[in-house]
Amino acid sequence: DIQMTQSPSTLSASVGDRVTITCRASQSISSWLAWYQQKPGKAPKLLIYKASSLESGVPSRFSGSGSGTEFTLTISSLQPDDFANYYCQQYNSFWTFGQGTKVEIK
């Protein structure tokens, strides 16, 4: 099974900050990686797929990069609506999620 490890678990930041979340796979997954945003009581929302492709309708301040085993999600300028939980997911072999990163207000 492929394990996904996100860091950090919690990130404290202010509006306007540049934020980076890292996701590491236990083996190579090529670019078969997605990022989701989840707010309390809501379903996850797709942000990024195939490591760096922006889902339609998602603001351009979100970007993804990486391949193989190391991936990052970057929010270029954090907005009030961005305080949420973020999950990476591999879909190279079945589907596995990272444990999540909570982005909270500093």
Partner 1 sequence: QVQLVESGGGVVQPGRSLTLSCAASAFTFSTYSMHWVRQAPGKGLEWVAVISYDGINKYYADSVKGRFTISRDNSKNTLYLQMNSLTAEDTAVYYCARTNGYKNRFDYWGQGTLVTVSS
Q: Give the footprint of partner 1 on this chain (CB under 8 A).
A: 32, 34, 36, 38, 42-46, 49-50, 55, 87, 89, 91-92, 94-100
Query: What is the identity of the amino acid at 102?
Result: K
Smallest separation (angstroms) from partner 1 to the CB of 59:
17
- Please name which of 36, 24, 71 lies closest in space to residue 51, comparing C-alpha atoms: 71
Contact (Cβ atoms closer than 8 angstroms) between residue 51 and residue 31: yes
Alpha-carbon span 67 to 54, nearest angstrom: 15
Nearer to partner 1, 45 or 61 (CB): 45
Nearer to partner 1, 50 or 106 (CB): 50
Contact (Cβ atoms closer than 8 angstroms) between residue 32 and residue 47: no
Nearer to partner 1, 16 or 40 (CB): 40
Smallest separation (angstroms) from partner 1 to the CB of 96:
7
